[in-house]
Structure 1
Amino acid sequence: MASNWRQLMPTTDAYWMNRILFDIHHRDDDLHRYKRDPDAYMADVPLAPSLKSAIRDNDIGAMYLAGVNPYLLRAHCLGLRIPESVFLQSLRSVGREGEH
């Protein structure tokens, strides 16, 4: 069965990552709080440090592989003005890793 994710069912981690991306781009003050201090913004979120780092560092490929919704990833890139070429290259690089 083909899937956007490595998991057939999104994990709890994927839920929290999706929730963070949704909130920072859909709730009025959240984007400003996130930009000011991403680590403080995510302090109370029950995610492993590596997953929080993927969000903070805008590691699109790692977020995608962790189960983040591709539409939320795209909105995240648009909201933070991450160039489309960076977005696509990150996805392509994890796609190539999965081919081996």
Structure 2
Amino acid sequence: MSGNWVQQIPSQSAYWLNKVLFEVHHNDGQLKRYLASPGEYLSTVPMPENLREAVRSNDIGAMYLAGANPYLLRAHCLGLRISEQEFLASLKAVAGGQKNG
């Protein structure tokens, strides 16, 4: 499989991560709820704690490596006003270990 997708078959954790990224930015009221308390928002999502921490701390590289859809990840950064420079730097920091297809 070529392209920039990290996992050929996304994990269950990747599913939940992508679901969170989608819902926060596409469902009414979810962004406000998330911003009020990211920890509380994520507390009921069945994903590993290290992945919850990556979302809370906006660790773009870690989310990408965990299987975040690149489009949902970019929308997340736009919604949280994370700069293009920070977004790209985070991806470049993890790109060294990835094969380009």
Task: After TM superposition, give the deviation of residue 3 of structure 1 in Å.
Answer: 4.2
**Is the CA contact 2:6–2:64 (under 8 Å) kept in the aligned structure 1?**
no
- 1:32-71 Cα deviation digits (max 9, x unpaired): 1100100100111101100000011000000000000000
**Is the CA contact 1:6–1:65 (under 8 Å) kept in the aligned structure 2?**
yes
Which is bigger in relative contact order (C-alpha 8 A, separation at least 6)? 2
- 1:59-87 Cα deviation digits (max 9, x unpaired): 00000000000000100000000000000
Give the match for residue 64 of structure 2.
64
Q: Does 1:98 align with 2:98?
A: yes
Give the distance between the partners of 1:25 and 1:11, measured in 2 at CA: 22
Task: After TM superposition, give the deviation of residue 5 of structure 1 in Å.
Answer: 3.4
SS state of the match for residue 73, structure 2? helix
Give the distance between the partners of 1:35 and 1:85, measured in 2 at CA: 22
Instruction: List gaps (5 residues or longer) in structure 2.
Output: none
Q: CA RMSD in A?
A: 1.2
Give the distance between the partners of 1:30 and 1:7, measured in 2 at CA: 27
Opposite residue 65 of structure 1, the aligned amino acid is: L
SS state of the match for residue 97, structure 1? coil
If the length of structure 2 is used for normalisation, what is the TM-score? 0.92
Identical aligned residues as a percent: 55
Give the distance between the partners of 1:74 and 1:6, measured in 2 at CA: 15
Give the match for residue 80 of structure 2.
80
Opposite residue 32 of structure 1, the aligned amino acid is: K
Count of residue pairs the alignment pairs up? 99
